[in-house]
């Protein structure tokens, strides 16, 4: 190949930033468009399993995650007061505030030479190789990457991409709270998942995200309107979890949180000509396994790696989807099953089959990284 390949990427979330970094490090020129005026992610925490950490090793970001993230001591589940502590020894994972992960990826993208344009909204892609912006601009590229999330405008503009969307009964309010004295002790250096299933499912998932913050994922059926509100309604939550009232009061004061209903979006195929979708644009999934972003990060890194092995873009895109599709479909199906059956409530959801996603090793990971 003689000329440098050029990519236009829509969406500076975890998938778009990762794709941008990986392509730039593989020699592409990359321009990344974010519709918001600022680069940031909302106030919550996130788990990164080994599959994502290997991908982040490949693009040089993992050391910063280890520095700024934490490894929780235990993953405990409590159902009506009964505690379970599943064995997760074979499945290492890290917890980090989402805004921090976003900042580390944004820094790495700039370091890799990605040009980032904020306030730039994509409205679609031309499969012959152009990104279309809301202001009417048409930007030619060898590859257009739609990393614009579950509601992807890029994906929706491509008739060749068939979609199956499904919404589920549950949703989660996510907040990041400062870690005050009563949560400073080592007993909070954990994941603790408190469930009640009667009269309807309500759950508070605590995840340490370091000495300064705690992430709370507060799940309820979306029909429970008061429990699906941001800011958190402390009364409805404290009535169900009276012993967690101090934490619930903090959650009620948190700013920058978000409520999302569980949803799945299966897209087939992932590319049309020179346009490809990655991350939630391609495979939004239920959060039960904490794998949505991780799978997007893995697929974005593997995309750049596979395209580097093929002069022909069509062949590269087909080879990439061939490698990543089965793992991704299985992750979506398993997390949907776990969400629908609420298996996590019983603390025994982490079977080896379910955890296959966490142990997926992308081709781009060299033996030294895996060791």
Q: Which residues bind ligand 5PR (CB under 6 A)?
A: 47, 172, 205, 217, 219, 287-288, 290, 344
Instruction: Provide the strand spans (E) within 242-319.
Output: 258-268, 271-272, 275-277
Task: Please identify which residue in 129, 217, 257, 347 interacts with ligand FAD, judged by CB under 6 A.
Answer: 217
The minimum distance between CB 176 and ligand 5PR, in angstroms, equals: 11
CA distance 364 to 366: 6
CA distance 125 to 11: 13
Look up residue 33 and give its two tokens. Answer: 């468009």
99/217 with CB nearer ligand 5PR: 217
Q: What residues between 145 and 174 interact with ligand FAD by CB under 6 A? A: 147-149, 153, 172, 174
293 touches, from ligand FAD, ligand 5PR, none (C-beta below 5 to 8 Å by class): ligand FAD
Between vectors from CA 345 to CA 217 and to CA 53, what angle results, nearest 5°? Answer: 55
The minimum distance between CB 303 and ligand 5PR, in angstroms, equals: 24
Closest CA to 145 of 319, 303, 311, 2: 303
Tell me the DSSP string of 224-254: -SGGG-SS--HHHHHHH-GGGHHHHHHHHH-
Look up residue 202 and give its two tokens. Answer: 């309500």
56/147 with CB nearer ligand FAD: 147
200/260 with CB nearer ligand FAD: 260
Q: What residues between 57 and 116 interact with ligand FAD by CB under 6 A? A: none
Binding mask 250-279 for ligand FAD (x = CB under 6 A): ----------x------------------x
Please give, one letter per residue, the 3-state secondary structure of 100-130.
HHHHHHHHHHHHCCCEEEECCCEEEEECCCE
The minimum distance between CB 109 and ligand 5PR, in angstroms, equals: 24
Residue 9 interacts with ligand FAD (CB under 6 A): yes or no: no
Tell me the DSSP string of 134-148: TTS-EEE-SEEEE--
The minimum distance between CB 75 and ligand 5PR, in angstroms, equals: 10
Query: What residues form DSSP beta bridges with 265?
Result: 165
Size of the site for ligand FAD (CB under 6 A): 33
288/304 with CB nearer ligand 5PR: 288
Residue 334 interacts with ligand FAD (CB under 6 A): yes or no: no
153/205 with CB nearer ligand 5PR: 205
122 touches, from ligand FAD, ligand 5PR, none (C-beta below 5 to 8 Å by class): ligand FAD
Phi, psi values for residue 93, rounded to 5°: -150, 155
Parallel/antiparallel/unpaired status of strands 162-178 and 258-268: antiparallel
The minimum distance between CB 16 and ligand FAD, in angstroms, equals: 5
Instruction: Provide the strand spans (E) within the chain.
Output: 6-10, 29-34, 45-49, 75-79, 82-84, 93-97, 115-118, 122-126, 130-133, 138-140, 143-146, 162-178, 191-196, 202-208, 213-221, 258-268, 271-272, 275-277
Phi, psi values for residue 120, rounded to 5°: -120, 105
354 touches, from ligand 5PR, ligand FAD, none (C-beta below 5 to 8 Å by class): none
Q: What residues between 31 and 60 interact with ligand FAD by CB under 6 A? A: 33-36, 46-47
The minimum distance between CB 311 and ligand FAD, in angstroms, equals: 28
**Residues found near ligand FAD in the complex (CB under 6 A):** 10-16, 33-36, 46-47, 121-122, 147-149, 153, 172, 174, 217, 260, 279-281, 287, 290-294, 296
């Amino acid at each position: 190949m003689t000329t440098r390949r050029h990519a236009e990427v829509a969406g500076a979330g975890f998938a778009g930033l990762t794709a941008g970094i990986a392509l730039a490090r593989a020699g592409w020129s990359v321009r990344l468009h974010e519709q918001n005026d600022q680069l940031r992610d909302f106030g919550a925490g996130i788990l990164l399993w080994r599959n994502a950490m290997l991908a982040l090793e490949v693009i040089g970001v993992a050391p910063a995650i280890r520095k700024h993230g934490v490894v929780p001591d235990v993953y405990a589940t409590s159902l009506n007061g009964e505690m379970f502590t599943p064995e997760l020894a074979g499945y290492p994972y890290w917890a980090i505030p989402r805004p921090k992960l976003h900042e580390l990826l944004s820094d790495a993208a700039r370091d890799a030479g990605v040009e980032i344009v904020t306030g730039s909204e994509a409205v679609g892609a031309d499969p012959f190789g152009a990104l279309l912006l809301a202001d009417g601009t048409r930007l030619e590229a060898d590859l257009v990457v739609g990393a614009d999330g579950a509601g992807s405008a890029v994906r929706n503009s491509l008739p060749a991409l068939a979609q199956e969307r499904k919404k589920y009964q549950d949703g989660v309010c996510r907040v990041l709270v400062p870690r005050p004295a009563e949560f400073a002790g080592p007993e909070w250096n954990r994941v603790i998942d408190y469930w009640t299933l009667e009269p309807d499912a309500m759950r508070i998932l605590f995840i340490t995200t370091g000495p300064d913050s705690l992430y709370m994922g507060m799940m309820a059926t979306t029909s429970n309107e008061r429990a699906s509100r941001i800011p958190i309604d402390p009364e409805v939550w404290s009535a169900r979890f009276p012993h967690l009232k101090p934490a619930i009061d903090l959650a009620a004061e948190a700013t920058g949180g978000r409520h999302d209903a569980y949803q799945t979006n299966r897209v087939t195929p992932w590319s049309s000509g020179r346009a490809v979708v990655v991350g939630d644009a391609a495979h939004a999934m239920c959060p039960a396994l904490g794998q949505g972003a991780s799978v997007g990060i893995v697929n974005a890194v593997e995309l750049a790696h596979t395209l580097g092995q093929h002069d022909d873009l069509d062949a590269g895109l087909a080879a990439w989807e061939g490698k990543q599709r089965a793992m991704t479909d299985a992750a979506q199906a398993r997390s949907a099953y776990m969400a629908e059956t609420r298996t996590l409530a019983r603390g025994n959801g982490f079977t080896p089959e379910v955890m296959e996603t966490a142990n997926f090793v992308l081709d781009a990971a060299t033996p030294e990284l895996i060791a």
